[in-house]
Structure 1
Amino acid sequence: MTLADFASAIARRVDWFLVGMAAAVGLAWLFPEPGADGGWMHPELLTKLGVSLVFFLHGLALPFSALKAGTLRWPLHLTIQLCTFLLFPLLGIGLLGAAGGRMPEGLRLGFFYLCALPSTVSSSVALTAAARGNVAAAVFNATLSSLLGVVLTPLWISSYLGAAGGGLPLGGVVLDLVLWLVLPLIAGQLLRPWLGGWAARHKPAINRVDRGTVLLLVYTSFCDSMMRGVWTEQGWGEVLGTFAGAAVLLAVALAATSAACRVLRFGEEDRIAAVFCGSKKTLASGVPMASLIFGLNPDLGLILLPIMIYHPLQLVVGGVLAGRWARR
């Protein structure tokens, strides 16, 4: 193998989106002023426009016709959604209880936010397909999870903040999510008869725009934290602790989902869809939703840290499992 072939093989294996996330955080550390509150990028407006663009593109790319085959598998759907929106928040409560007061409040909120997020769409479906699982059920549940998350995620966050003595203007948050997330998603769906073919032909370019927008939101989310010195007050202990907490959450979610599938006697294809959809948490939707739910919270960088660590971790573990199950 030549050096060029080796470099090409490495480039194919590298997830440039994860590299881009690291670069966005690095830029926020070096140049936080443009993306911070009051900066020339106007993050308060840029964030909402970015959210709208991301979900408009999701609406264009989402073929509802692909969901029909999976709609009748309601025990599977119920299991996946309960894992996503009930099991995970309960795990988060247990993890925060075990951590006690040793964890900064922004990071505590970040872990609970991670647990309250909906499942991913693209990676859940892609991993289910790679492992030869029930793809139709994965598409249905990943989509349903994204729609339910518009309501259930802020409800869980509001409950957490209320128990912690804080509060969340739930009506305003849901209104923001509807205006800047749901309506663009619906607009994309309504325009599919005219733009669906164009979106299918230009799917790689749309994916690049989608991911680039998320990276821009990651940058602006971290800028305010950098300007306010949130990260200078933390050490590597918090980062390593976050990695350990994310690993524990993923391991317990995978084990619990697999156990539920065995108890309910799901077939192999359904079990694969349940494990991948029930254990995933969305970064692509999580960053925009955090920007809307928490606004210009100075701890936003810390709040996003758990999902930014959980995301690559779930992809690595999911890839290993998909490869193993594909060889069955």
Structure 2
Amino acid sequence: MKWTAKIFNKQNVFLLLLVLMVVMAKLIPFQESYNRYFNLSAFIDWGIAGIFLLYGLKLNLKEVVKDISNWKVHLLIQAGTFILFPLLVFLFYPLAKGSEYYNVWLSVFFLACLPSTVSSSVVMVSIAKGNVTSAIFNASISGLIGIVMTPLLMSFFLTPVSGGGNHGEVVQQLLIKVLLPIILGILLNPVFKKWVTKYSSIIAEFDRLIILLIVYESFSTAFVQNIFASVPGVVFLILAFSVVFLFFIVYHILQFLAKKMKFNAKDIITVTFCGSKKSLVHGSLFLLVLGIPEGQKVLFLLPVMIYHSFQLFYVSWLASRIAQRPLDIEK
């Protein structure tokens, strides 16, 4: 269990670094004048393309093809990620529409539209002794589906409210920063596969670095423009309650459906763990790609950060608990 403890320690350090970035943004915010010395936005843009290039390099197509026969599990997980999540949040749309909390609802809907995580899903399923091969398949395929589904779902609500970029610009950004790097990475996978495996830990740190910089830049803008002055404390409480409530609803619905479909214990673990996760990596990147205005970026980032933190702490505890009695997941 030493390797699992090491992973949890790294995740805890990362969560602390996220908090540190927010504190730094408050104490030493990044000013526009600093761009003459270091262009942070340009570095982040290249970093986004780099993350998805590395994602393509890491994608194991053999593992994906190998587990495609377990299609019922995959279908339920992806339906949970891209249908159940958004649908549950959409139920509150009539209450939020036209109210002062509409953008708060929209930020939670943004979270609901994101794909699942990659590394932590596989790690948690492994600890809980679930179906790791199916976890790898769904973690890989979820990010690819999200390239289409996340912008598509957000397009119904984002443009009229936020005044973000038009759909042509969004598609162009997705092609340049997301899809093309992934395709290039897949094509280069046979050449650099050994290199990626050898330096996988360094690659993971690069992913985290870009996320931390995105958080720092977004919160810097919020503090410089005094955006938080217009955001009451009750909004943070609403966001925290909403995302935790959303997690438990999705988790138990997926568990109920998996049991009704008579999945075995390993597949039920995989469905509930992979289907209830949301990716901070994709959330941070789509925050920039979708053309969300500077004044709203922090509001959209907050629920993703809260959800990410909660799912790591809670699911890691849950995985360890399930691992002690792998065949009895109902208790």
Shorter-chain TM-score above 0.5: yes
Summarize deviations over 1:41-90 as a string: whole Å, max 9, x none: 44543332121111122222222222233111111111111111111111
**Identity within the alignment, %:** 33
Distance 1:37 1:262 in 2: 55
Shift of 1:236: 2.8
Q: Does 1:228 align with 2:245?
A: no
1:155-234 matches, cutoff 5 A: 155-161=152-158, 169-234=166-231
1:84–1:116 contact (8 Å) kept in structure 2: yes
Distance 2:102 2:165 in 1: 15
Shift of 1:239: 1.6
Aligned to 2:111: 114
2:131–2:267 contact (8 Å) kept in structure 1: yes
1:61-210 matches, cutoff 5 A: 61-98=58-95, 104-161=101-158, 169-210=166-207
Counterparts in 2 of 1:92 and 1:156: CA distance versus 1, 3 Å: same
Q: Does 1:280 align with 2:245?
A: no
Counterparts in 2 of 1:208 and 1:166: CA distance versus 1, 3 Å: closer
1:21–1:218 contact (8 Å) kept in structure 2: yes
Distance 1:209 1:128 in 2: 24
Q: Give the counterpart of 2:257 among 255, 260, 263.
A: 260
2:162–2:292 contact (8 Å) kept in structure 1: no
4+ residue runs of structure 1 moved beyond 6 angstroms?
A: 35-39
Shift of 1:225: 2.0
2:158 is paired with a residue whose SS is helix
Aligned to 2:29: 32
Q: Does 1:305 align with 2:302?
A: yes
2:44–2:210 contact (8 Å) kept in structure 1: no
Distance 1:88 1:96 in 2: 13
Distance 1:249 1:286 in 2: 17
Distance 1:109 1:24 in 2: 24
Shift of 1:318: 1.0
- Greater Cα shift, 123-132 or 95-104: 95-104
Aligned to 1:292: 289
- Greater Cα shift, 89-98 or 69-78: 89-98
2:280–2:305 contact (8 Å) kept in structure 1: yes
Counterparts in 2 of 1:167 and 1:219: CA distance versus 1, 3 Å: closer
Summarize deviations over 1:2-35 as a string: whole Å, max 9, x none: xxxxxx99x9476111111111111222222337
1:150–1:174 contact (8 Å) kept in structure 2: no
The aligned amino acid for 1:267 is N
1:36–1:43 contact (8 Å) kept in structure 2: no
- Greater Cα shift, 89-98 or 73-82: 89-98
Summarize deviations over 1:161-184 as a string: whole Å, max 9, x none: 367696762232122112111111
1:300 is paired with a residue whose SS is helix
Shift of 1:118: 0.7
Counterparts in 2 of 1:202 and 1:167: CA distance versus 1, 3 Å: closer
Counterparts in 2 of 1:216 and 1:81: CA distance versus 1, 3 Å: same
1:177–1:292 contact (8 Å) kept in structure 2: yes
2:164–2:292 contact (8 Å) kept in structure 1: no
1:299 is paired with a residue whose SS is helix
The aligned amino acid for 1:281 is K
Aligned to 2:329: none
Which stretches in structure 2 are left out of the alignment for 5+ residues?
326-331
Distance 1:295 1:167 in 2: 5
Shift of 1:249: 0.3
The aligned amino acid for 2:235 is E
1:35–1:41 contact (8 Å) kept in structure 2: no
Aligned to 2:328: none
Shift of 1:100: 6.6
Counterparts in 2 of 1:160 and 1:324: CA distance versus 1, 3 Å: same
Aligned to 2:322: 325
Distance 1:103 1:132 in 2: 45
Distance 1:36 1:241 in 2: 35
1:191 is paired with a residue whose SS is helix
Shift of 1:262: 1.2
Distance 1:165 1:219 in 2: 22
TM-score, normalising length from structure 1?
0.89
1:35–1:43 contact (8 Å) kept in structure 2: no
Distance 1:165 1:12 in 2: 38
Counterparts in 2 of 1:220 and 1:13: CA distance versus 1, 3 Å: closer
The aligned amino acid for 1:149 is G
The aligned amino acid for 2:59 is L
Counterparts in 2 of 1:314 and 1:247: CA distance versus 1, 3 Å: same
Alignment RMSD? 2.5
Aligned to 2:15: 18
Shift of 1:40: 5.7
Shift of 1:226: 2.0
Aligned positions, number: 320
Shift of 1:191: 2.0
TM-score, normalising length from structure 2?
0.88
